[in-house]
Amino acid sequence: MVRIQRILCPVDFFPASLRAVDYAIGLAQKYDAKLHLLHVVSPILYSTEQYAFTVSDIIDSMKKQSARKMKKLERKARAAGLTIYTDVRTGEVKREIESAVRATKADILVMGTHGRRGMEKWFLGSVTERMLRRSPIPVLTLRGSKKARTATTRILVTTDFSEGTDNALNYALSIARANKARLTLLHVLEETRAVISPKYRKEITEGVRRELLQRIPADAQGSPDIDTAVEAGTPYHVILRLLKKERIDLLVMNTHGKGMLHRALLGSTSERIARAADCPVMLIPPMKKAKSNRRARRRAA
């Protein structure tokens, strides 16, 4: 079972990140985890020669204001019975988040996203999307929606049978068990495979369904709360349609670690869905094998 002991949640005090804090509090309660809240003061610098204050004055004022807001969030987390740590830093936002991931030894990063309009588009592109691409730990993103569902009763985990499938399924199963939720394991047949004759499409679908069942761990086989689904079409459109149709509360996907140039030009399916999905989306990065490889070399020696 996946262990979540430390959760890091960057906060900018906009609605999406406040929703992320609420979600992180609920997740920490389920796992009895420690919660770390981070705010980074990154002021826009400009000439202050004609004013009676300096850049340091501005930064100090922003830090004090941010500290007061963090205190309110800290009280909320303590009222929920959590061990809570807060940190207000000054610096470049992306670097400070990456530094905090290492310093806190966080198991998961919970972040709000801000849609794709105006300055909100700039924020997502420069911060959250970078973490989606570079984070060494799972990233759970939430959009600022007033209609957000707080309970987690339906979880969808997608797979294309790539290397990270088992990691994504393990996280999804862990959260499903913690919330007593129903889990669906989905594979989307690409359009090129779906347009063949009905006879062969049925055979392919049945073969894929068998492979999905084989992916389910032995201790979860036969559970009435786990089912499989095989759909045909473009993954991006099929997944977004199912999220609404089935009223999914959490989507879990693995990422592929594609090159930065490819992502910059095209964007991965997981990143596109994270921008558009109304429900929380958890993206599981490729898990490093360095440690296991080193152990294997030591044993061989």
How does pLDDT run across 4-62, given as a tens digit for each residue?
Answer: 999 999 999 988 889 999 999 999 999 999 999 999 987 665 544 555 456 677 788 88
Q: Which residues are CB-neighbours of 248 under 8 A, at least 6 positions away? A: 154, 155, 156, 242, 279
DSSP string of 217-243, one letter each residue: -GGGTT-TTEEEEEEES-HHHHHHHHH
Question: Looking at the domain 6-143, which fold is it?
Answer: Rossmann fold (3.40.50)
Whole-number Å distance between alpha carbons of 79 and 77: 5
User: What are the extents of the domains in the chain?
Assistant: 6-143, 154-291
Q: Which residue has the higher pLDDT, 36 or 273?
A: 36
Going along 76-152, which residue ranges are E strands?
84-90, 108-113, 139-143
- 172-187: average pLDDT: 95
In tens, the pLDDT along 65-100 reads 999 999 999 999 999 999 999 999 998 888 999 999
From residue 282, give the alpha-carbon distance in Å to each of 26, 81, 87, 169: 15, 24, 24, 11
In the prediction, which pLDDT does 196 show? 61
- Beta carbons of 107 and 3 less than 8 angstroms apart: yes
Q: What is the mean pLDDT of residues 219-233?
A: 92
User: Are residues 93 and 42 in contact, defined by beta-carbon separation less than 8 angstroms?
Assistant: yes
> What per-residue confidence (pLDDT) applies to 87?
96
* Per-residue pLDDT reduced to its tens digit, 180-221: 999 999 999 876 655 566 667 788 889 999 999 999 999 999
| Percent of all residues in the chain with a pLDDT value above 70, rounded to a whole number | 77
* One fold for 6-143 and 154-291: yes
- Confirm if 5 and 34 have CB atoms less than 8 A apart: yes
Fold of 154-291: Rossmann fold (3.40.50)
Cβ contacts of 251 within 8 Å, gap of 6 or more: 155, 156, 157, 158, 239, 243, 273, 277, 279, 280, 281, 282
CA 231 from chain centre, in angstroms, equals 24
